Structure formats: C-alpha cells, structure tokens
Amino acid sequence: MTDFNIIPANKEHLPGIYSLVELNVRRKSLLPRSRFSIQASLPDWVVAVKDNSIIGCGSLLSYVDGMAEVRSLAIADVFHGQGVGTSIVSRLVENARERGMETVFALTTAVSLFRKSGFSIVPIHCFPDKVIQFCASCPKRHACDETAVVFQLADTPFQCQELKNHSLSNLNLSVLPQQVGLSK
C-alpha cells in the first residue's frame, strides 16, 4: 500500500483537484465541474496527498434531509487499487457523520470500491432530489451506467424516498448554486 495522507482541501489544491476531475470528465467517468464550483465548495473536498502531490480527491454534498452525497471521486491512474479511493470515501463518510447526516449515498461506476467501504446497492429512484436536480441535465441521462449505493449512518434502516412528492419547484436541497453547476 502507498503512503499518503487524506486532508481537507485548500486553495493550493485547486489546480490538482481540477486536473484530476477534468481527466475523468474526458474519460466520461465524472460529470464536469467548473473551477468556480470546485472553489466555491472547497470546504466539502478532501484530497489524498503523497509527496506534496494530489493523487486523489472527492467531495461531499449535503442535503437538508439528512443525506450527503459522495461526488467527484477521482484517483490518479498509478494509484488505483492502492487504497486511495476507499480512504477518501471513509474520510467523506466520517465528515458526513460529523455534520450529523443520517445517510451517505453515491451514484457511481466504481461499485466494488463503495461495497468495500460498507455501502449497499439500492435503486437509483431512492434519491429523487438528486435525480430531478442533476440527472435531468446529465449528458449520460439516456444511457446512465451508474449504480446507486448507500451507507446508513443512523441506527434506523435506509428508507427509499418517494418520487411522487418531488418536483423542481419543491426540491428539498441545501446546495450552493455554485455546487450545482455542471458547466465548465
């Protein structure tokens, strides 16, 4: 296993975070994030650092209903399979716990990484706020290859949200407009 540290992101990390995110956007494994949206949500990001280089990153988006989403998880190619991704996810889950969140979820193609971290697979429709807000504008919306995974922090079992009461006009999100932006 590689020696690295998981730390909160700061302004010096912006170029490295953006570079990792952009590489994965070009590969169509992440949705685009603008530099502005990354900078605006910097307190929500963590980075994996080895020898002063960023080798991984990820962010946590909090919703007002006690849910938090792991987003923009990216690992440098040479560090895949060395525990960087699971360490970032573990730190983000701990951050969610510290914020008082009850549930952490992700929409991902890296299902095995999340399963190793204790997440369970659930139907994507369990997250209607996410689906309505982000999936509607996603370039992959007609050929989605992502799987919904969830980690329950509360003692109560995870309950799927009902889609019928949700619409764009009554979203229950506490998201900064800068965090929502999927444009460059």
**What local confidence, expressed as pLDDT, does residue 154 receive?**
84
Domains, the chain, with CATH or none = 5-171 (3.40.630.30)
122 pLDDT higher than 80 = yes
Q: Residue 141: which pLDDT band, with cuts at 50, 70 and 90? A: low
What is the spatial distance between Cα 168 and Cα 153, in angstroms, rounded to a whole number? 27
Computed over every residue of the chain, the mean pLDDT equals 82
Q: What token pair was written down for 87?
A: 């360490």
Per-residue pLDDT tens over the stretch 45-87 = 999 999 999 999 999 999 878 889 999 999 999 999 999 999 9
In angstroms, how far is the first alpha carbon of the chain from the final one? Answer: 34
Per-residue pLDDT tens over the stretch 18-40 = 999 999 999 888 888 999 999 99
Question: What region, left, alpha or beta, does residue 70 occupy, with left being phi > 0 and alpha being psi -120 to 50 degrees?
Answer: beta
Q: Hey, how many other C-beta atoms are within 10 angstroms of the C-beta on 2?
A: 13
